[in-house]
Structure 1
Amino acid sequence: MVVRYVAYIDEAGDEGFGKLAGAGPTAQSSWFAIGALLVTKEDDRHLPMWRDEIMDQFPKKKTRDLHFQLLKHEQRVQACLMLAQKPIGACLVASNKVTLLTHPKREIFKQKQYLYNYLTRYLLERLTAACRKKAALEHDDQAHLTVVFSRRRGTDYHVMREYLELMRDGRELMRPVRSINWSVLDPSDIAVENHSNKAGLQLADVFTSAVWNALEPNGYGFCEQRYGRILTPRLLKQMGQRLHCGLTLIPPFGKTPLNDEQEEFVEFVRRFKEEGRGPPAPGAHR
């Protein structure tokens, strides 16, 4: 038997680092993140209902299209609280773009879509490992993952599929330490949909934007940890640890510069324990 999962992927921030935050009103974000909402195939059919339950909390909203950035603070908190109660797994990979300014390969990272593909690779490594582990532990079965990306302007998903096929076929010049589990994911099982067409993408937007806000300073230099803390129990984990699995920083924690608020949030994730926090999320490892 094959246990089937679906991951919905969205991003927060932007890829550019020529004019980072603090350089004026047109500055780029300091962090770029790609996040995923992971559910079983059985729960996938419940996502429109879960999205509608959240939207019902905002009766003045005229559409069923959920956008985190368009919500007020108190609405964001409510959306995170409701999402945290659902049987989901969640994973986010975030690049501290300030470190790219002095990176020896910064010219490579400036290439169109390179950083997006780079972070996607990290994300898929963690998602496929979680699915494989969950299926083996609970069902003694194989796992299969379908991935749905939120369509973004300027991204060539054909190029991404070719990049994944190159990795799958072992044609890289330098082999990575970790790898996507190709028994779980086939590059052909990648879809691209508009945000408004898929409730899963809208919920992935809530998760990704929520955790990104815990890392990205706002216009006054403050980070908003509350959203990310609420959703921390849903982060995937490995060997009991969510950091480096459900939340991955690049460069890693301890090597990437963080302000006090950012470090406080990452430490919260690192030290988080499951006791009294509800059932573990799909794909979570003990």
Structure 2
Amino acid sequence: MSDLTKPPAYYYIACIDEAGDPGIRRVRPIDPTGASEWLVLGCSLIQVRSEGDQVLWVRQILDKLEMKQQTVLHFRELDDWRKPLACQFLGSIKDVRCFAMLSNKKNMKGHGNIRAASRSEGIGIDQVFYNWCLRIILERVTDFVYRHSIRAYGVPRHVKIILGERGTHSYARATWYAQMLKDQSKAGTTYLSKRTIKWEVFDSRLIQVSQPQVNAGLQLADVVASSFFQGVDILPPTNFDTNNARLLKPRIAEKDGVFENFGVTFLPFKYYESDLRPEQIDLLEFYGFDRFRFHARR
């Protein structure tokens, strides 16, 4: 584990917010009064040199939406005509890269591995599930930062992680879990090691928790998370619409020209286990996912 010395300098900032909730004990539509069918994490990634610009970008978006008296951008509360304008503006900001992690939770209800992890670590299954989803997006964000910093600086540079505080998680637990994964990665003992958090650019002392209403970067991450949530969630009260998340495509991170399982990640990794409705696949197909893989083995 990291010691208590001064954390390393950081050259990137990744803000991560969420839409939906991590509850997996009761999940809609299996349970009529269960938690949301989806948990979506959205990330906005910038270089430190753009840190001060985030407030300006949010202000420009609010002005474009004719909300000059507002100071906080909250995507879910926007009128329907305003949402595509917000996404279009964010999609035009060249200094931002965005990531979305979409977890369909129907197959997670009562999941054996999650329950086992909960018992062994002494924490609730919802927290374990959130930690797992955070791992998935951090693997991709740190991979992007690692490769970008090697090109830009010739050496790996660290990224600061800011998590949107929602009052439903133990962020200390999440930080401990992320550091444990880093230690496992360095030791070569990571379970499910196809991808790992790039320890060269990650340090748990650079994880911070903030409230979205006071952090412009988290408000941009909320646009990502909420627009993708709206693009896959077909249950009321969500007004299902794939168009807004499509408008973010210019800013969605890609690897070797591919969005699937990098800038846009879907869980479960065995897509056919999700049992999605055809319209729920439309947005994923737009980002390069093969529709057939959601229907295989039925």
Q: Name the TM-score class by shorter chain.
A: 0.7 to 0.9
> Residue 146 of structure 2: which of 112, 123, 132 is its match?
132
> Residue 136 of structure 2: which of 106, 122, 140 is its match?
122
3-state SS of the aligned residue for 2:159?
strand
3-state SS of the aligned residue for 1:242?
coil
Indicate the residue corresponding to 1:264 in structure 2.
282
3-state SS of the aligned residue for 1:133?
helix
Indicate the residue corresponding to 2:51 in structure 1.
44
Write out aligned runs for 1:231-242 (5 A). 231-242=248-259
3-state SS of the aligned residue for 2:70?
coil
Contact between 2:14 and 2:161, CA under 8 Å: does it hold in 1?
yes
Indicate the residue corresponding to 2:127 in structure 1.
113
TM-score normalized by structure 1? 0.86
Residues 42 and 60 of structure 1: is their aligned pair in 2 closer, same or farther, counting only changes over 3 Å?
A: closer
Deviations 1:199-255 (A, max 9, x none): 111111111111111111132887310011111221111111001000111113643
Q: 1:227 is matched by which residue type in structure 2?
A: N
Indicate the residue corresponding to 1:83 in structure 2.
90
Cα displacement (A) at 1:265 = 1.3
| Cα distance in 2 for residues equivalent to 1:135 and 1:43 | 15
Q: 1:89 is matched by which residue type in structure 2?
A: R
1:153 aligns with 2:176: no
Cα displacement (A) at 1:60 = 4.6
Contact between 1:3 and 1:142, CA under 8 Å: does it hold in 2?
no
Instruction: Give the aligned length.
Output: 270
1:184 aligns with 2:192: no
Contact between 2:114 and 2:128, CA under 8 Å: does it hold in 1?
no
Contact between 1:10 and 1:150, CA under 8 Å: does it hold in 2?
yes
Indicate the residue corresponding to 1:166 in structure 2.
180
Residue ranges of structure 1 left out of the alignment (5+ in a row)? 272-286
3-state SS of the aligned residue for 1:37?
strand
Q: 2:284 is matched by which residue type in structure 1?
A: V
Indicate the residue corresponding to 2:294 in structure 1.
none
> Residue 260 of structure 2: which of 221, 230, 243 is its match?
243
Moved segments of 4+, more than 4 Å: none
Name the % identity.
Answer: 26
Say what the alpha-carbon RMSD is for the aligned residues: 2.4
Indicate the residue corresponding to 2:6 in structure 1.
none
